[in-house]
Amino acid sequence: MTKNEAASRANDLKDLLAKYDYEYYIQDKTSVSDAVYDGLKSELKKIEADYPELITPDSPTQRVVGTVLKGFSKVEHSARMLSLNDVFSKDDVEAWIKRMDKLLPGHQHEFFAQLKFDGLAAALIYQDGKFVQAVTRGDGTIGEDVTANVKTIASVPLNLRSSKAASPFLKGRIEVRGEIVMSKKDFEALNKKREAAGQPAFANPRNLAAGTIRQLDPKLVAARPLNFRAYDLITATPTQTPTFMSTLEALEQIGVAPIKPAEVFDTIDDVMRFVDEWSEKRNQLLFNTDGLVIKVNDRMQYARMGIVGKTPRAAVAFKYPAEEATSVVKDIVISIGRTGAATPVAVVDPVVVAGSTVQHASLHNADEITKKDIRVGDTVVIFKAGDIIPQVDRVLSELRPKSAISFNMVRELRRQYPELEFERPEGEAVYRVKGATGPLLLKKAVEHFASKAALDIDTLGEKNVVALVDAKLVNDLADLYLLTKEQVMKLDRFADLSADNLIKAIDVKKRPPLPRFIYGLGIRHVGTQTAIDLANHFKRLDNLGTAAYQELKDVDGIGEIVAESIIAWFADDDNQELLAKFKKLGVWPKDTKVASGKLSGLKFAVTGSLSTMGRDMAAERIRSLGGTFQTSVGNDTDYLVVGDNVGESKLIKARKIGTKQISEQELLNILDK
Ligand code: IVH
């Protein structure tokens, strides 16, 4: 991105985020999810990190979060309301435990894991068992007195329950901390009512709960079904609740509903099983969760571990990955499926959705693109709906570049498939290859797969293919490997021996060389030479399948059209299913070995500019002799070639690691020897 492009993108992002803020804070209406808002904000942050001169005081990134609201009186918290550090994987959790081990070596911790409810934090103060005050988190130190509003929440007891077990908590001052939440069901019902009354809908229960508590009129609050669920209890004598599990039990004793489920575990593996278990099951809970809180169960140890900044060391929030994200459409490519149907696919900047990196999103058909008006250059919201390929939910049209033109399926088909003719059958949303019926294309595909230049399957010529497809024994390429001698023998063309030969000929081609397999898949525009180039570059089929558009274009001999066609092929659900089926049947190409040569096993990096050749040329010559070319110096680099105008940092790094440094002339000597 040039500086001008960055400045213009930053401005667009600022405007849109300001609009969302206005809708949310002023109009009580939320049009986007947190994931979308946060995604755009972090994009802006990244631009501002690259170009600090673009930071303006009014940028949403400069806003201090958690400010004290006007209109409510301020209350200082008895103890600061802290936040939690986020973790996203088992590795992160293990790193957290290592940090604690350093601090308290040799301690075997018990872990308390509890679902994390996505609401608005509040502290409820009870004096001698009576509810006296409710305070929001505010900035953590000073919150707002929302007593009158919280009093309307039915699950906040005005008098604590008395019992023998509860008695220690019924004298003096205690503080219950937890989340004000709204159930998913109540939220939906309320939103429906609002829509019916022509009022703007809320985006999610959390925002609605937060918006409600900020109302100055408690009557309005009472009309909305809020709930309270607790996660902590603070008393004058902490020894009454030595663990977080005993805290949860104490909350139940005094008649306050704690956040559940919550459990105690001895090992992190058990905690992770709990995390995984609730990753799916959380959808069935009454309230929205955005993860789990994991704490050291023993409160003494928890306290000993202390606080860094605003977060305790002995607790983390495990965040479930967002199921939505924003990205920019780089291209719209079209894949032609087995039946000749043309499916458009959006190629997007890589982005993590629901825990995995997404590079393509399905667009279904031309009507869908028109309806959503998706254009190349658009910023879109992507979501996963249980399919292999994620979908585009909608366009953020405010971020559309002026140059973005409407998508035209016919024009694109002509550009991407100049040699084919398409038709759109009456009443169908899909364009298909003209005159092509499913079986016809399938026969061609199987024939191609078995051909000499591809898998070279003996005796599987045109006539046999036709017989197998017509008999419905082969419905996709992988079905070849499921054929049995008995099935084949039943066909007119086969006898005992010929059927046996065919099955054997197929069976010996279960581990074909990668270039042949790539060619055999029949990806449009991928001929034998391109397949060899791709195999040499990517070495494994998985690498090819996950390659980004730019990476494909960087392969020698691969242009825009071929790159698009490869992306489209791998982005097609049918093809992904086919690959999965191949894999299950043990049919998979052998990885391409690194070229062997005198530089085999040696790794080179170049710094500065070379006078006799460009970097690409150096890389190619090193690779052609079996060596590896690296773009940066790592622990495993054998030689750092030092050219002209070298930056100090790479040399310092190389020196530190102890990488051998050689001159350009020395490299030439090695290459020419
Ligand atoms: S324990 C140091 N447990 O999430 C704060 N918090 O991101 C310890 N939250 O401030 C909090 N569910 O407002 C805890 N089961 C749970 C929670 C929970 C939601 C909120 C809470 C906290 C924030 C931290």
For residue 35, pLDDT beyond 70: yes
**Which letter, b or e, does each residue of 201-210 get, where b requires 16 or more Cβ atoms within 10 Å of its Cβ?**
bbbbbbbbbb
DSSP assignment of 447-496, as one string?
Answer: HHHHSTTTT--TT--HHHHHHHHHTTS-SSGGGGGG--HHHHHTSTT--H
Which one of the listed residues 116, 295, 384, 443 is annotated catalytic? 116
- 553 classed as catalytic: no
**Centre of ligand 1 from the C-alpha of residue 84, in Å:** 7
The pLDDT-based confidence of 23 (bands split at 50, 70, 90) is confident
Residue 228 contacts residue 258 (beta carbons within 8 Å): no
For residue 15, pLDDT beyond 60: yes
Residues 286-296, mean pLDDT to the nearest whole number:
94
Cα–Cα dist 419/430, whole Å: 19
pLDDT at 544: 92
Please report the atom of ligand 1 found closest to the CA of residue 114: 15
For residue 66, pLDDT beyond 60: no
For residue 364, pLDDT beyond 90: no
Residue with tokens 């806003």: 63
Tokens in use for 216? 């100055």
For residue 202, pLDDT beyond 80: no
SS3 call for 630: strand
In a mutational test of the pocket of ligand 1, which residue from 85, 293, 313 has the highest number of ligand atoms less than 8 Å from its CB? 293
pLDDT at 229: 97
For residue 121, pLDDT beyond 50: yes
pLDDT at 645: 82
Judge if the beta carbon of residue 114 lies within 6 A of ligand 1.
yes
Judge if the beta carbon of residue 179 lies within 6 A of ligand 1.
yes
Neighbours of 116 (CB within 10 A): 22
Judge if the beta carbon of residue 82 lies within 6 A of ligand 1.
yes
Distance of CA 543 to the CA centre of its chain: 18
N-to-C CA span, the chain:
42
Neighbours of 403 (CB within 10 A): 8
In 384-442 the beta strands, taken as DSSP E runs, fall at: 391-395, 422-423, 431-433
Strands lying side by side in the sheet with 639-642:
628-630, 603-607, 639-642, 660-663
Please report the atom of ligand 1 found closest to the CA of residue 232: 1
Let me know the angle formed at the C-alpha of 407 by 571 and 322, rounded to the nearest 5 degrees.
50
In a mutational test of the pocket of ligand 1, which residue from 179, 181, 271, 278 has the highest number of ligand atoms less than 8 Å from its CB? 179
Judge if the beta carbon of residue 407 lies within 6 A of ligand 1.
no
Task: Indicate the burial class of 426 (C-beta count within 10 angstroms; 0-12, 13-18, 19 or more).
Answer: exposed
Model confidence pTM above 0.85? no
Cα–Cα dist 375/328, whole Å: 10
Please report the atom of ligand 1 found closest to the CA of residue 312: 2
SS3 call for 310: coil
CA atoms within 13 A on the CB side of 581: 14
Residue 451 contacts residue 436 (beta carbons within 8 Å): no
Digit-coded pLDDT (tens) for 394-407: 999 999 999 999 99
Cα–Cα dist 57/315, whole Å: 34
Nearest CA to ligand 1 atom 10: 83
pLDDT at 26: 65
**Centre of ligand 1 from the C-alpha of residue 193, in Å:** 31
Residue 664 contacts residue 643 (beta carbons within 8 Å): yes
The pLDDT-based confidence of 386 (bands split at 50, 70, 90) is low
Judge if the beta carbon of residue 212 lies within 6 A of ligand 1.
no
Let me know the angle formed at the C-alpha of 225 by 216 and 81, rounded to the nearest 5 degrees.
65
Residue 396 contacts residue 326 (beta carbons within 8 Å): yes
**Centre of ligand 1 from the C-alpha of residue 30, in Å:** 23
For residue 27, pLDDT beyond 80: no
Digit-coded pLDDT (tens) for 464-489: 999 999 999 999 999 999 999 999 99
Closest CA to 277 of 246, 323, 244, 320: 320
Nearest CA to ligand 1 atom 12: 116
Closest CA to 127 of 107, 109, 147: 147
Residue 571 contacts residue 389 (beta carbons within 8 Å): yes
**Centre of ligand 1 from the C-alpha of residue 610, in Å:** 56
Which sign, positive or negative, has the C-alpha torsion 453, 457, 462, 468? negative
**Centre of ligand 1 from the C-alpha of residue 230, in Å:** 9
SS3 call for 360: strand
SS3 call for 60: helix
Judge if the beta carbon of residue 222 lies within 6 A of ligand 1.
no
**Centre of ligand 1 from the C-alpha of residue 144, in Å:** 18
Residue 260 contacts residue 285 (beta carbons within 8 Å): no
In a mutational test of the pocket of ligand 1, which residue from 65, 77, 81, 84 has the highest number of ligand atoms less than 8 Å from its CB? 84
Judge if the beta carbon of residue 315 lies within 6 A of ligand 1.
yes
Closest CA to 16 of 326, 290, 322: 326
Strands lying side by side in the sheet with 315-319:
85-87, 315-319, 289-296, 111-117, 262-265
Helices (H) and strands (E) in the chain, counts: 25, 24
Residues forming beta bridges with residue 345, ordered by sequence position: 333, 362
Neighbours of 473 (CB within 10 A): 17
Closest CA to 357 of 387, 333, 390, 308: 390
The pLDDT-based confidence of 67 (bands split at 50, 70, 90) is very low
Round the CA-based radius of gyration of the chain to a whole number and report it.
Answer: 31
Closest CA to 361 of 398, 338, 397, 333: 333
pLDDT at 82: 95
Cα–Cα dist 165/255, whole Å: 11
**Centre of ligand 1 from the C-alpha of residue 39, in Å:** 22
pLDDT at 532: 87
Judge if the beta carbon of residue 117 lies within 6 A of ligand 1.
yes
Nearest CA to ligand 1 atom 16: 116
pLDDT at 355: 67
Residue 555 contacts residue 534 (beta carbons within 8 Å): yes
**Which letter, b or e, does each residue of 512-523 get, where b requires 16 or more Cβ atoms within 10 Å of its Cβ?**
bbbbbbbbbbbb
Cα–Cα dist 309/316, whole Å: 14
Tokens in use for 377? 């250059």
Residue with tokens 């949310």: 24
Average predicted confidence (pLDDT) for the chain: 89
Task: Indicate the burial class of 323 (C-beta count within 10 angstroms; 0-12, 13-18, 19 or more).
Answer: middle
Percent of the chain with pLDDT over 70: 96
The pLDDT-based confidence of 388 (bands split at 50, 70, 90) is low
Nearest CA to ligand 1 atom 17: 116
Percent of the chain with pLDDT over 90: 56
pLDDT at 63: 67
DSSP assignment of 517-581, as one string?
Answer: HHHHTT-TT--HHHHHHHHHHH-SHHHHHT--HHHHHTSTT--HHHHHHHHHHHH-HHHHHHHHH
Judge if the beta carbon of residue 116 lies within 6 A of ligand 1.
yes
Closest CA to 293 of 433, 97, 499, 84: 84
Judge if the beta carbon of residue 317 lies within 6 A of ligand 1.
yes
